[in-house]
């Protein structure tokens, strides 16, 4: 198809469809397909497919930087007011540890255009993409300043990111902790790492573990220290907010209404079948469901997938959560989830207690530890 119709939009669509299918199955791309893809990108850097491709290429340290620059350069030439090519180029420079001065320029340009609301001219009608990109652009700028040892520039950019990032964000607090630690402000650094851990960062927990062991000589009592930090009035904390109301029906016909669940802890697992990290968590999550079967805890797993797909999946993959099909509106509309799996814990009063975004080796253990803490308070 590439040889006969290299400029056809259908060729690009076929490549994109193939990539999505490979990703959904958790497989590695065929080397020959990769060659075809790269050949297409090199030959048609101005194509829509190439523009969509650099969003993921900018995160790949092995991606050819010169090709990303060519695609972004042609995009900027065509759409100089679009924040996306500047953002992607800044992200590529950051991830490949190259051209920091250019990276700062690109990040600042994307920030200015995002603040001016220019993304609305390029499909971001409701502003959702702007709200996601702006804190990320500030973080790129902050991280590069930190790498250049410009602490005085890094900290304001971090604070700007924190002021507009969602409550579930942990990246800005993780970077804050690293910068403050280098600056010698140990107390503030620890508070920042604790906040990042509260918001779901496994890396922050590793940093806290490292600092704890350095002080104590061992890790005895570390879990208790984390639990105390979670509830410490002297530590910063996520302001609790009421969970959005919901009413959902599971695969087996059970109705889950948040108002009717008052008095119980609700554990939500936002997932979908083709999410490899989501599937890998399931065996351990099943063990947690069994452990708390006699406790006032309800486990619900809303999924993007339809009922038939879920029933087929569950024939060979046991999942003890209450599975809710066709839940895209709930997952995206009510909780604005963009990374999966996402775990949300709602306390007995209907308040969001904890949000854990994305996969991490010990994420199920974090869910378990949070449940133990909440049940201990009752």
**Lowest-pLDDT range of 205-219, 222-236, 335-349:** 222-236
Of 210, 231, 252, which one is at a domain's C-terminal end?
A: 231
Phi, psi of 268 (to 5 degrees): -105, 135
Q: Is residue 239's pLDDT more than 60?
A: no
How far apart CA 182 and CA 151 sit, in angstroms, is 9
How far apart CA 134 and CA 129 sit, in angstroms, is 9
> Which residue range forms the structural domain that includes residue 122?
45-164
* Residues 133 and 175 grouped into a single domain: no
Domain contains 64:
yes
Q: Which CATH number belongs to the domain containing residue 310 in this structure?
A: 3.40.30.10
Q: What angle do CA 222, 223, 225 make, to 5 degrees?
A: 65
* Residues 116 and 58 grouped into a single domain: yes
Q: Which CATH number belongs to the domain containing residue 52 in this structure?
A: 1.25.40.10
* Residues 248 and 295 grouped into a single domain: yes
What DSSP string runs through 15-52?
HHHHHHHHHHTTPPPPHHHHHHHHHHHHH-TTSHHHHH
pTM of the predicted model over 0.75 = no
* Residues 370 and 247 grouped into a single domain: yes
Strands 297-302 and 247-249, bridge-based pairing: unpaired
Of 164, 184, 209, which one is at a domain's C-terminal end?
A: 164
* Residues 114 and 54 grouped into a single domain: yes
Helix or strand (DSSP H, E) at 300: strand 297-302
Domain contains 65:
yes
* Residues 224 and 254 grouped into a single domain: no
Instruction: Give the residue from 239, 70, 68, 250 showing the smallest Cα distance to 167.
Output: 239
Q: What pLDDT, on a 0 to 100 scale, did the predictor assign at position 35?
A: 78
Domain contains 17:
no
* Residues 61 and 127 grouped into a single domain: yes
* Residues 189 and 285 grouped into a single domain: no
Quick: pLDDT tens for 297-343: 999 999 999 999 999 999 999 999 999 999 988 887 888 777 789 99
Peptide bond into 66 cis (omega under 30): no
Domain contains 317:
yes
Quick: pLDDT tens for 15-50: 666 555 555 555 555 666 677 778 888 888 988 888
* Residues 256 and 367 grouped into a single domain: yes
Domain contains 4:
no
How far apart CA 90 and CA 140 sit, in angstroms, is 7
Domain contains 97:
yes
Quick: pLDDT tens for 94-123: 999 999 999 999 999 999 999 989 998 988
The total number of structural domains in the chain stands at: 3
* Residues 127 and 225 grouped into a single domain: no
Of 110, 139, 164, which one is at a domain's C-terminal end?
A: 164
């Amino acid at each position: 198809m590439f040889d006969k119709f290299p400029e056809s939009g259908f060729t690009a669509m076929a490549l994109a469809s193939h990539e999505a299918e490979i990703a959904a199955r958790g497989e590695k791309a065929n080397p020959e397909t990769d060659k075809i893809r790269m050949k297409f990108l090199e030959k048609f850097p101005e194509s829509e497919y190439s523009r969509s491709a650099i969003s993921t290429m900018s995160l790949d340290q092995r991606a050819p930087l010169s090709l990303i620059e060519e695609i972004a350069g042609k995009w900027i030439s065509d759409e100089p007011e679009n924040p996306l090519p500047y953002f992607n180029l800044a992200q590529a420079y950051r991830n490949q540890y190259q051209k920091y001065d250019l990276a700062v320029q690109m990040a600042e340009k994307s920030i200015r255009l995002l603040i001016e609301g220019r993304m609305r001219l390029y499909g971001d009608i409701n502003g959702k993409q702007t709200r996601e990109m702006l804190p990320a652009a500030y973080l790129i700028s902050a991280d590069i300043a930190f790498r250049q040892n410009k602490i005085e520039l890094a900290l304001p950019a971090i604070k700007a990111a924190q002021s507009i990032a969602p409550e579930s964000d942990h990246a800005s607090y993780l970077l804050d902790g690293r910068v403050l630690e280098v600056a010698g402000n140990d107390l503030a650094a620890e508070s920042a790492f604790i906040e990042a851990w509260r918001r779901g960062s496994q890396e922050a927990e590793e940093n806290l573990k490292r600092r704890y062991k350095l002080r104590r000589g061992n890790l005895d009592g570390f879990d208790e220290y984390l639990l105390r930090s979670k509830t410490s009035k002297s530590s910063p904390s996520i302001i609790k907010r009421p969970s959005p109301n919901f009413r959902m029906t599971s695969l087996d016909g059970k109705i889950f209404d948040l108002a009717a669940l008052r008095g119980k802890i609700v554990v939500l697992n936002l997932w979908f079948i083709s999410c490899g990290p989501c599937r890998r968590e399931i065996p351990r999550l099943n063990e947690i469901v069994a452990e708390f079967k006699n406790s006032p805890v309800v486990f619900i797993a809303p999924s993007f997938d339809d009922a038939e797909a879920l029933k087929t999946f569950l024939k060979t993959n046991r999942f003890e959560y209450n599975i809710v099909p066709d839940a895209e509106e709930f997952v995206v509309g009510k909780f604005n989830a963009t990374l999966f799996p996402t775990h949300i814990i709602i306390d007995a009063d209907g308040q969001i207690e904890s949000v854990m975004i994305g996969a991490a080796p010990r994420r199920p253990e974090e869910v378990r530890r949070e449940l133990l803490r909440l049940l201990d308070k009752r």
